[in-house]
Amino acid sequence: MNRYNNIHILMYTFLAVILFSCKHGEGEYHNITDKIEAKSKNYHGTSISSEQYLEGIKTIKITEGAHTFLIPERKSEIKSYACTECHTKPLEELKSKDPSKKAHWDIKLAHADLNTMNCITCHNGNDMDNLTSLTGTSIDFNRSYKLCSQCHSKQFKDWKGGAHGKKLGGWAPPRASMTCVNCHNPHNPGFETRWPAGYNTQKVKERE
């Protein structure tokens, strides 16, 4: 009987050694994804806010699907808004008889091709103070992302979630994101090539 007990104790000790020898020191969680999931279950926010970093930026709150966040207000940023300050008459009457005089001479449309887009894809000659959707619904200049999202639905989805576009303020709530036209010129939305910010001459020497 005593011998069996001894064998049992030996076996338990052996088992315990095996169990403890598996420890690698990772701590409680198997991986970072498990840790994030477990630890965020009872998340009630933090005391950190990024509100102070948004001071001085006029923003509006938008809700798109499940996402609510701030975007910069746009109308006050457009120098010649409201358009009706010049466009007092319908477009046909305003048109200059002299072809050398152009009102918006600085705007060259480099967005899609002319088969797809021209001025009136986004602007409405009869309602200059608002943008217009493809089906003719009026879109406020402050919510111009609604215009872009008609075609760029994939970017729109990423932007809503936060994968596309630059953030304003900080990481802490409230969330504020730049809107499409803050980075992309709507008439020429592509990014230019340019020179990098710097060149490390020491790195070259070190690697010689």
Partner 1 sequence: MSDNTKKWFSLNLNSKKKQSTGSCGCGKTSGGCGSHTKDQISDKEFDAAVDAAIGDERKKDGFDQVFDVQMDRRTAFRKLTASLVIGAGAVSTSCNLTTGEETKEKAQIDWEEQFKGNYKLMTDDEKKATVDRLVRSYQLRKGENIDMSSKNAEKDVLFGYAFNISKCQGYMDCVSACVEENNQDRNSQMEYIRIHEMKDGKGLKFDEADDNYYHEVPAEGHFYMGTQCFHCDNPPCVEVCPVQATWREEDGLVVVDYDWCVGCRYCMAACPYDGRRFNWSTPEVPENEINKNQHYLGNRMRKKGVMEKCTFCVQRSRAGKNPACVEACPTGARIFGNLLDPESTIRWVLNNKKVFRLKEDLGTEPKFWYFMD
Best CA proximity match to 162, nearest among 71, 73, 50: 71
Q: Can residue 1 be called a binding residue for partner 1 (CB under 8 A)?
A: no
- Assess 19 for contact with partner 1 (CB under 8 A): yes
Applying CB under 8 A, does 22 fall inside the site for partner 1? yes
Q: Which of 183, 185, 188, 189 binds partner 1 (CB under 8 A)?
A: 183
Asked whether position 153 contacts partner 1 by CB under 8 A, the answer is no
Q: Which of these ranges, 71-79, 110-118, 123-131, 154-162, lies near partner 1 under the rule CB under 8 A?
A: 154-162
Residue choice 36, 57, 110, 134 for contact with partner 1 (CB under 8 A):
36
Burial pattern 34-71, b for ≥16 Cβ within 10 A else e, equals eeeeeeeeeeeeeeeebeeebeeeebeebeeeeeebbb
Closest by CA position to 122, among listed 99, 152, 160: 152
CA angle 162, 143, 156 (to 5 degrees): 35
Q: How far is the C-alpha of 28 from the C-alpha of 35, rounded, in Å?
A: 8
202 lies in the site for partner 1, by CB under 8 A: yes
User: Could you tell me the smallest distance in angstroms from the CB atom of residue 121 to partner 1?
Assistant: 24
Q: Which residues bind partner 1 (CB under 8 A)?
A: 12-13, 15-17, 19-23, 25-32, 35-36, 39-40, 43-50, 52-53, 154, 158, 161-167, 169-173, 175, 178, 183, 191, 193-204
